[in-house]
Amino acid sequence: MNKKIILVGGDPNSINSEIIFKSWKKIPKNIKKKIILISNYNMLLDQFKRLNYKVNLMKIDNYYDFPNTSKLKVLNINLNYKNPFKVSKKSSSIFILKSLDLAHKLGLKKDVAGIINCPINKNLLNKSKIGVTEYFATKCAVNDNSEVMLIKNKKLMVSPLTTHLDIKSIPRKLTQKLIIKKIKVIDIWYKKEFNKKAKIAILGLNPHNAELRKNSEEKKIIIPAIKKLKNVNIKIDGPYVSDTIFINDYKKFDIIVGMYHDQVLAPFKALFKFDAINLTLGLKYIRVSPDHGVAIKKIMKKNSSFLSLLNCIKFINK
C-alpha cells in the first residue's frame, strides 16, 4: 500500500515530540516515505534540540510537494511561541484547530490511507464536552451520534457508548436508539475488518445492574435494545455487571461495550497499559490516535512509552 499517512503532531505542550521521535526510530524507510507530519517546523526543531534528539526534518508548505524521501516531512502550520513546551493556550488552540481542519481535508483524499493524531488537550478545541472523536465527527457531518470510539489491541476491544460526558449527564443520553445505532456500526465494521461476526458483550449502567429493578436503565433501555439487536442477527449478550466482567469473562468476547468512557477504558488500561490504539468508526476516513493523553508532567523526562503511537502507524499502514 502506497497511500500517504497523515500524522497530526497534536498539542505542543506534551510528550508528542518524544513519542514521534521514538516511533520514527522504529519504523522502516518504506513507511517513513508515506508519512507527512502536520505541525510547526521550527517548534519541532526547538523541541528536538531540547530533548537532544537528532531528526532529519524537511519543511513542506504544500501537500502536493510530497518528495520521495524517508526524512520526516513537516507540513507547516504557523505557531507563535517563545518556549516550545510552554505555548500559550490561545496560540495552541489556533494551531490545533488549523492542524485538525487540514488533516480532515487531506483525509478525504483518495491517496490518503488515514489520519493519526497525537494527543491533544481537549480544552484547546474551544467546545465543552467534546474531544477529537466528536470534532472529526462534526467535520464529517456525522450529526446523529453514530460515530463510535473503539479502543483496541490484539486481545480485546472496548467501546463506550457515550464519550466525553460528565457522569451526571449519561443517563439522560442513553436511549435504545443510541445503543442500537452504535452497536450496528461496530458490527458492520468488525465484519468488514475481520470477515466474521463480532461477539459483543454489553454492560449495564448501574452497580449490579441496579438489581434489574423495573425503573432501571437496564430494564427500560438496555435489555430491550439487546433483544432488538439479537433479532437482526447481531451476536450480543448482556447486560453484564461491569465490576466483574474484566476479571475473566471478557476473554469470551471480541468487544466489550460500556455505557460511558471510564467504565471500559479504566479496566482496559489496567490490563493492557499502552498496548492499544483509539479508533473512530463511522467517519469518512480512518482515524486513530494513541490511547493516552498529553502527559504534561512527563515533558523532558524522556521516559514515555511510544508503543501506542507505533501501533497506530502499523494499523494505518496494514
Same fold, 1-142+283-318 and 145-273: yes
pTM as predicted: 0.90
**Considering Cα of 182, then 183, then 188, then 192, what sign does the dihedral take?**
positive
Distance CA 160, CA 35 (A): 30
Task: Please name the residues in contact with 137: beta carbons below 8 A apart, sequence gap of 6 or more.
Answer: 147, 280, 282, 283
**pLDDT score recorded for residue 241:** 94
Interval 193-243: pLDDT, tens:
999 999 999 999 999 987 889 889 999 999 999 999 999 999 999 999 999
- Domain 145-273 class, CATH top level: alpha beta
> Which residue type sits at 3?
K
Is 1-142+283-318 a domain of CATH 3.40.718.10? yes
Contact residues for 62 (Cβ-Cβ < 8 A; gap 6+):
none
Rounded to whole angstroms, how far apart are CA atoms 252 and 207?
A: 22
Q: Which amino acid is at 50?
A: R
Q: What is the mean pLDDT of the chain?
A: 93
- For the stretch 137-160, pLDDT in tens is 999 999 888 899 999 999 999 999
Distances (CA, A) of 1 to 4, 21, 131, 183, 288: 9, 23, 30, 30, 18
Cell for 267?
Answer: 479496566
- Please identify which residue in the block is written with the cell numbers 502499523: 314
C-alpha span between 90 and 118 (Å, rounded): 19
Domain borders along the chain are 1-142+283-318, 145-273
* pLDDT tens-digit series, residues 33-53: 999 999 999 999 999 999 999
